[in-house]
């Protein structure tokens, strides 16, 4: 199962009011384990950065000037995401911005059904408790010491750890590699594993007297019994 843990940084709260994405960070999981593949882009929003947003992520006009436009990285982003589930904290916010940018770039938008909201999961699992990413890091003991400011790639890496704790900890699917394998992402998944027969059969522990007693018992059940059919 392929999943993309994703985060964005923006110039504000509303694309309908001219706010834009300035950073996208995403990490790939396969069977709930990081593959090492990431997507990370800084984006020139073609507008000035409000001070309130700058205080959150520290991405200013001088740094972003000359970075790719969203339209320049749109296809690369869509190829990376593919049809994988996108794990996002407060998914409605990021999806709103991503789909606005995709529409402006005349690319296909992403259905909300493709997003999995970890904020909603946390609120359901811990009702009444703080559910911010920092609060969940404290709850699960996830190290977020490098998070002085928000950063899309760093936050997606932290969210991946939090997400795995939310769904029950690091318990990836058991993969047995023997025989024919099918390549999915960077993981070799065996699709035809079967237990091999023992080279030497185990010695029966049934005693002679037990065998005689069993045969007498089966005989009493009659020819229509399951044991009689099995024995024959």
Catalytic residues: 150
Backbone angles phi, psi at 190, to 5 degrees: -75, 125
198: which DSSP letter?
P
Neighbours of 117 (CB within 10 A): 19
CA distance linking residue 54 with residue 150, whole number of Å: 10
**DSSP for 64-78?**
HTTSPPHHHHHHHHH
* Total residue length of the chain: 232
- Buried-exposed string 43-70: b where 16+ CB fall within 10 A, e elsewhere: bbbeeebeeebbeebebeeeebeebeeb
């Amino acid at each position: 199962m392929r999943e993309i843990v994703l985060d964005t940084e923006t110039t504000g709260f509303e694309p309908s009011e001219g706010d834009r994405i300035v950073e996208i960070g995403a990490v790939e999981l396969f069977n709930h384990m990081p593959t090492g593949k990431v997507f990370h882009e800084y984006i020139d929003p073609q507008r000035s950065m409000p001070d309130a947003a700058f205080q959150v992520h520290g991405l200013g006009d001088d740094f972003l000037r000359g970075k790719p436009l969203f339209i320049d990285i749109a296809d690369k982003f869509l190829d990376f995401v593919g049809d994988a589930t996108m794990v996002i904290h407060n998914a409605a916010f990021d999806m709103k911005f991503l789909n606005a940018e995709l529409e402006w770039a005349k690319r296909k938008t992403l259905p909300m059904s493709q997003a999995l909201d970890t904020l909603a999961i946390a609120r359901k699992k811990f009702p009444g408790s703080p559910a911010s990413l920092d609060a969940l890091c404290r709850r699960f003991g996830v190290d977020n010491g490098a998070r002085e400011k928000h950063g899309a790639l760093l936050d997606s890496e932290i969210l991946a750890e939090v997400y795995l704790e939310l769904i029950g900890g690091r318990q990836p699917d058991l993969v047995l590699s023997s025989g024919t394998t099918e390549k999915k992402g960077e993981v070799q998944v065996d699709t035809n594993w079967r237990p091999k027969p023992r080279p030497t059969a185990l010695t029966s522990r049934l005693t002679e007297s037990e065998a005689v007693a069993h045969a007498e018992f089966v005989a009493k059940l009659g020819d229509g019994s399951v044991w009689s059919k099995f024995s024959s």
